[in-house]
Chains A and B, each alone.
Chain A
Amino acid sequence: KAGVTQTPRYLIKTRGQQVTLSCSPISGHRSVSWYQQTPGQGLQFLFEYFSETQRNKGNFPGRFSGRQFSNSRSEMNVSTLELGDSALYLCASRTGTGGLQETQYFGPGTRLLVL
């Protein structure tokens, strides 16, 4: 089974631009979660989608948005980029129905640098 894939792996943008990141979950997984990882704040939860619906949301401004398609692939969008948005953005997938013992699989991440 192929793992979680994220594209692109690296991205450089300038302040004020917007960016779209993509995540393809493991086949059969209907839940996709997004996280932001920075040296100062660690891994912070952005949002989770399950069957095209946002199921959970973290404490991030409205500039951060996401969506999930019928094939479970997910995209995350950040508008009006700020320097502080520079981070590793991680996507993780799970079936979404397995309960507390369910394994969540992470992709390798997209490293975003905002100049």
Chain B
Amino acid sequence: TQLLEQSPQFLSIQEGENLTVYCNSSSVFSSLQWYRQEPGEGPVLLVTVVTGGEVKKLKRLTFQFGDARKDSSLHITAAQPGDTGLYLCAGRDDSWGKLQFGAGTQVVVTP
């Protein structure tokens, strides 16, 4: 079983600060996705990375997939209260395989 470990579990920062969330595994994934989930809602896909070393940017969010496709990071620059939520990473070992999720990182950004 491939396991995805996220760190930290909880992050509380002030508006304007930067933060990084990590997602690590001992196994290789064909693709890795990042989701954000807000209370009372299902997760919403932020990005999918498939190539080792790939970096994708979504406004103030930067996603990186490790060269060996075993780890990923999410960096938020100048966090805003609207970035508050549960950030989940999820890996898939092939196009048809099941999606496995990390435990999530709860991010709280206070004004």
Contacts and interface: CB of A to CB of B under 8 A. Distances in A.
A92 B42 contact: yes
Contacts of B101: 35, 42-45
Interface in A32-89: 33, 35, 42-45, 48, 55-59
Nearest to B42: A106
B98 A43 contact: no
Interface string A1-20: 00010000000000000000
A92 B33 CA distance: 14
Contacts of B50: 100-101
Interface centre among B30, B42, B88, by most chain A C-beta atoms within 10 angstroms, is B42
Residue of A42, A43, A109 with most partner-chain B CB within 10 A: A43
A45 B92 CA distance: 12
In the complex, which range does the number of interface residues on chain B fall in?
A: 20 to 34
Interface secondary structure of B, over-half rule: loop
Interface in B25-68: 30-31, 33, 35, 40-45, 48, 50
B88 A106 contact: no
Given A42-B104, A43-B88, A100-B31, A56 B97 contact: yes
A4 B44 CA distance: 12
A55 B95 CA distance: 12
A100 B45 contact: no
B100 interface: yes
Nearest to A6: B42
Interface of B: 1, 30-31, 33, 35, 40-45, 48, 50, 88, 90, 92, 94-104
14 contacts: A33-B99, A42-B104, A43-B101, A45-B100, A55-B96, A56-B96, A99-B95, A100-B31, A100-B94, A100-B95, A101-B48, A101-B50, A106-B43, A108-B41
